Amino acid sequence: MNKDTVNGTIDDIAGRAKRQVGEWTGDTKTQVDGAAQQVKGKVEKMVGTMKDEVKDDSREREIEERERLRLEEERKHHEVIGS
């Protein structure tokens, strides 16, 4: 979980609360502000999720590349020993 995900969750919850208060009090502006904050929070969470996925994919590719290089070195070592 990264900063965007955390901030998005906070904005989503705060926006939801603000929208609910606006509904209870009949304050349309507060309802709209709350709904806008919720949307902002959902977008932030989505960005955070995407960043985490990209980071995870990069880690996987790095691990795969290290393993490929290790196997290549092992193959070369066996060729030298077998010669």
Under the banding of pLDDT at 50, 70 and 90, the label for residue 1 is confident
**Separation between Cα atoms, residue 42 and residue 29, nearest integer Å:** 20
pTM above 0.85, yes or no: no
**Separation between Cα atoms, residue 19 and residue 34, nearest integer Å:** 4
Q: What angle, 0 to 180 degrees and rounded to 10, lies between the N-to-C axes of helices 28-82 and 3-25? A: 160
pLDDT digits (tens, 9 = 90+) for 42-80: 999 999 999 988 888 888 889 999 999 999 998 888 887
The C-alpha angle 53, 67, 64, rounded to 5 degrees, equals: 20
CA 36, 20, 18, 46 torsion-angle sign: negative
Predicted local confidence at residue 83, as pLDDT: 60
Residue 20 one-letter amino acid:
Q
